[in-house]
Amino acid sequence: MTRPRIAILARFAESTSATRYAAIVTARRLAEVVWAAGGEPLSILPVAGSNWDERLKGIDGVLMPGGADINPSKYGQSIESDEVYDVDDVQDDVDIDLVRYVFAKGIPVLTICRGTQIANVALGGSLIQHMDVPHRHVVNPVAVTAHAEQLGLAGATVNASCYHHQAIDRLGDGVTPIALAHDGVVEAVTYDSAGWAFGVQWHPEDNWDTEPGNLAIVKAFVDASAK
């Protein structure tokens, strides 16, 4: 059976040991969990002004991964925290353009960490630029209060591996929270789209091989892409 082809928009990196120079990257564990869930992970280059009709031919689903911070100008603010890092306007513009395209076309989409933040911004929302207590290197149980079945979850609780210092503030149009952290931070959302469309603030790739719920979420996304 042919694996559904999952496009992962690559992230820019200033340098990597393997390339010696600037690179585009996809986290190895992210690609591996897509593969483990039955998908074929494919990294794609962020290119401004892309014709997504052409570039996504043969693609069954889109995964928007984690990454660096979004330029606050994208949600009507200036940089107000020294913690905002690695802003790249090309990356932001391509991310926003792609998620808007995906929602408009009803292509199955899973957003992770920055991916969830960029989707919220693309839909008119805003972010907290730096949390008083960042969720970095934190694993917490998160209760999913809605759509657990669509996410492939046998139970409502997932051990979420978090690594973020920003969070959703004002919700974008059609963005509905379905899980909150103990301190009220939005940890999972559903999007108003014709296709399967969910986002998590945590990183399911971190512990998918020890936390069945995280593999289940990615598998639900891959299965929806296969259809």
* Secondary structure (DSSP) of 35-85: HHTT-EEEEE---TT--HHHHTTT--EEEE---SPPPGGGGT-----TT--
Q: Please tell me which residue in 113, 162, 164, 187 is annotated as part of the active site.
A: 113
What is the arithmetic mean of pLDDT over 96-115? 98
- The token pair that represents 61 in the structure block: 């689903």
Mean of the per-residue pLDDT values for the chain? 96
What is the dotted CATH code of the domain comprising 5-226?
3.40.50.880
- What is the pLDDT confidence band of residue 19, given thresholds at 50, 70 and 90? confident
What is the arithmetic mean of pLDDT over 165-191? 96
Q: Hey, which bits of 92-134 come out as E strands?
A: 109-112, 127-128
Q: Is 90 exceeded by the pLDDT of residue 20? A: no
Rounded CA gap, 18 and 27, in Å? 14
**pLDDT (0 to 100) of residue 213:** 96
* Length of the chain as a residue count: 227
**pLDDT (0 to 100) of residue 137:** 92
Q: Which residues, other chains included, contact 132 with Cβ-Cβ below 8 Å and sequence gap of 6+?
A: none
Q: Which residues, other chains included, contact 74 with Cβ-Cβ below 8 Å and sequence gap of 6+?
A: 92, 96, 121
pTM, entire model: 0.96
Q: Which residues, other chains included, contact 27 with Cβ-Cβ below 8 Å and sequence gap of 6+?
A: 65, 66, 205
Query: 3-state class of 90 per DSSP?
Result: helix
What is the arithmetic mean of pLDDT over 98-123? 98
Q: Please tell me which residue in 135, 164, 187, 205 is annotated as part of the active site.
A: 205
**pLDDT (0 to 100) of residue 173:** 98
165 catalytic? Reply is no
What are the domain boundaries of the chain?
Answer: 5-226
Query: In this predicted model, what pLDDT tens digit does every residue of 191-209 receive, in sequence order?
Result: 999 999 999 999 999 999 9
164 catalytic? Reply is no
**pLDDT (0 to 100) of residue 28:** 96
Measured in whole angstroms, the distance separating CA 167 from the mean position of its chain's CA atoms is 13
Query: In this predicted model, what pLDDT tens digit does every residue of 126-141 receive, in sequence order?
Result: 999 999 999 999 999 9
**Signed CA dihedral, 126, 131, 136, 141: sign only:** negative
What is the arithmetic mean of pLDDT over 97-119? 98
CA 180, 184, 193 angle in degrees (round to 5)? 45
**pLDDT (0 to 100) of residue 17:** 85
Rounded CA gap, 97 and 155, in Å? 34
203 catalytic? Reply is yes
35 or 182, higher pLDDT: 35
Q: Is 90 exceeded by the pLDDT of residue 69? A: yes
The tally of CA atoms less than 13 A away on the side-chain side of residue 220 is 21
